[in-house]
Amino acid sequence: MRNKITKCLFPAAGYGTRFLPATKATPKEMLPILTKPLIQYGVEEALEAEIHTMAIVTGRGKRAIEDHFDISYELEHQIKGTSKEHYLTEIRDVITQCTFSYTRQIEMKGLGHAILSGETLIGDEPFAVVLADDLCTHLPDEHSSGVLAQMVELYNLYKCSIVAIEEVPEHKTDKYGIVAGDLMEGHDDLYRVDQMVEKPDPKDAPSNLAIIGRYILTPDIFDILRETKAGKGQEIQITDALMEQARQGKVLAYRFKGRRFDCGSVDGFVEATNYFYELSK
């Protein structure tokens, strides 16, 4: 087994029902914050963590993602040498630095199932996972690094699965996977997880530390997922599989430095749009 994180998996097969009708024929991951689609922000975050191999789990109606990370010869031909050419610089840069591979999740049986569908692209090595609808940004401090880069650094020290967490208001625990555990010695932001519950009622939640859409997973997660039965919402939950690793003390939860927008919800999407618009001025 390779012990370095070289691949990033993007589960992008969900229906995005909260954005209907926009997501009827357009993947949620292609919705733009200003001019850039959500999934490109995620790919750029992976690149910043020195990950260059992108593995994307898509589904029906998601072909636009593949086209986005490819050359559009017609467009290139049309705008080459014109004043508009610079609009393509950023995406061209991304395309030349990465390889992209795709597989389809045939039935939408949940995030755990989507990750298991990605096994064919990942193989027997640890990997990062980005849910592109959680958009993460640096702190406004030039020395800060992206969330995935922070997590890869921790992985290189501890060599086990890591989930990114943030505190959420107590009445919102039923929207997230919630973890609990003890702080690791010498850290004030890193926990060894001993409890993990998917979308608990506030009265049953073991804490208000919520998992957000960034993970580092060790490849034994695939065998565990194969055995994981459908849980909450009749979906195969990644939190149930992670709890299996946590029982052996092999999951850390990291309170990351940075800011995260829940762009899978309309409120979070608008908030991110306003934030990036202010930044761009």
Query: How far is Cα 190 from Cα 187, in angstroms, rounded to an integer?
Result: 6
Closest separation in Å from C-beta 49 to ligand UTP: 18
Query: How far is Cα 253 from Cα 210, in angstroms, rounded to an integer?
Result: 9
Binding site for ligand UTP (CB under 6 A): 11-18, 28, 57, 105, 108-111, 113-114, 131, 133, 264
Nearest to 254 by CA among 200, 175, 176, 193: 193
49 or 116: CB nearest ligand UTP: 116
72 or 120: CB nearest ligand UTP: 120
Query: How far is Cα 64 from Cα 16, in angstroms, rounded to an integer?
Result: 15
11 or 37: CB nearest ligand UTP: 11
CA dihedral 130, 221, 108, 46 (to 10 degrees): 10
Residue 244's contacts (CB-CB under 8 Å, 6 or more residues apart) are 224, 228
The CA-to-CA distance between both ends of the chain, in Å, stands at 46
Asked if 33 and 276 touch (Cβ cutoff 8 Å), the reply is: yes
109 or 232: CB nearest ligand UTP: 109
CA angle, residues 130, 111, 14, in degrees to nearest 5: 85
131 or 253: CB nearest ligand UTP: 131
Closest separation in Å from C-beta 157 to ligand UTP: 28
Q: Counting Cβ atoms within 10 Å, is residue 48 exposed (0-12), middle (13-18) or buried (19+)?
A: middle
Residue nearest to ligand UTP (CB): 14
Closest separation in Å from C-beta 15 to ligand UTP: 4
Closest separation in Å from C-beta 187 to ligand UTP: 28
Closest separation in Å from C-beta 213 to ligand UTP: 7
Closest separation in Å from C-beta 131 to ligand UTP: 4
17 or 99: CB nearest ligand UTP: 17
22 or 279: CB nearest ligand UTP: 22
Closest separation in Å from C-beta 130 to ligand UTP: 9
Nearest to 109 by CA among 226, 26, 193: 226
DSSP-assigned letter for residue 184: P
46 or 131: CB nearest ligand UTP: 131
Closest separation in Å from C-beta 107 to ligand UTP: 8
Query: How far is Cα 22 from Cα 106, in angstroms, rounded to an integer?
Result: 22
Query: How far is Cα 222 from Cα 117, in angstroms, rounded to an integer?
Result: 9
